[in-house]
Amino acid sequence: MRFKGTLISISAIVLGACAGGDKNPADTTAVMVDTSAAMAAATTPAATTTAATGTMAPITGTTHEVKMVGDAKGFRFEPAAITIKAGDGIKFANVGGGPHNVSFDAATVPADVKSQLNANFGADKDPNSDLSSKLTGVAGGDAVTVSFANVKPGTYSVFCLPHKMMGMTAKITVQ
């Protein structure tokens, strides 16, 4: 009961603040404002970084498959660690529990590799987010393929943005 009283008091204060002050009886003109463009701009996420655009380097080696899984055991990449050679590619296949995506942890990507990795997502690149793919479909069957051609050797951390907090992370070692 006390909660309802507090809620009613807060509502009255908010409504009172929105009611405005004195009204001028001569001011009866209605103004219509088209806010659709402003709303679209406000709800469209901006790119997190404006990395230089590189040219996609095609896969010249083996294409490995990593499954993106969401089931009763949780959300995960299978395998959660993979070692590949420079020039190889990885096909991240959504096998369910999606939507999923592939995002590189920027802290594990050298500055001189970022533009190449962004380009190597090809058509799967999320145009609004650096080092990240578009989301796959919910039901599974979709895939994101990333080329590691022209990518320096090292260990790169990836995660699924919608499920990162649930532990959906992986390590990719490029030799």
pLDDT tens, residue by residue, 57-74 = 999 999 999 999 999 999
Each residue of 17-27: pLDDT tens digit? 444 445 444 54
Query: Which of 1, 39, 160, 165 is labelled catalytic?
Result: 160
Range of the domain at 72: 63-174
Whether 18 sits among the annotated catalytic residues: the reply is no
Is pLDDT at 123 greater than 90 in this prediction?
yes
* Structural domain includes residue 72: yes
Query: Which of 39, 64, 163, 166 is labelled catalytic?
Result: 163
Q: What is the CATH number of the domain that holds 164?
A: 2.60.40.420
* Structural domain includes residue 146: yes
Whether 56 sits among the annotated catalytic residues: the reply is no
* Structural domain includes residue 85: yes
Whether 64 sits among the annotated catalytic residues: the reply is no
Whether 168 sits among the annotated catalytic residues: the reply is yes
Query: Which of 1, 64, 100, 166 is labelled catalytic?
Result: 100
Confidence of residue 119 (pLDDT cuts 50, 70, 90): very high
* Structural domain includes residue 166: yes
Total length of the chain: 175
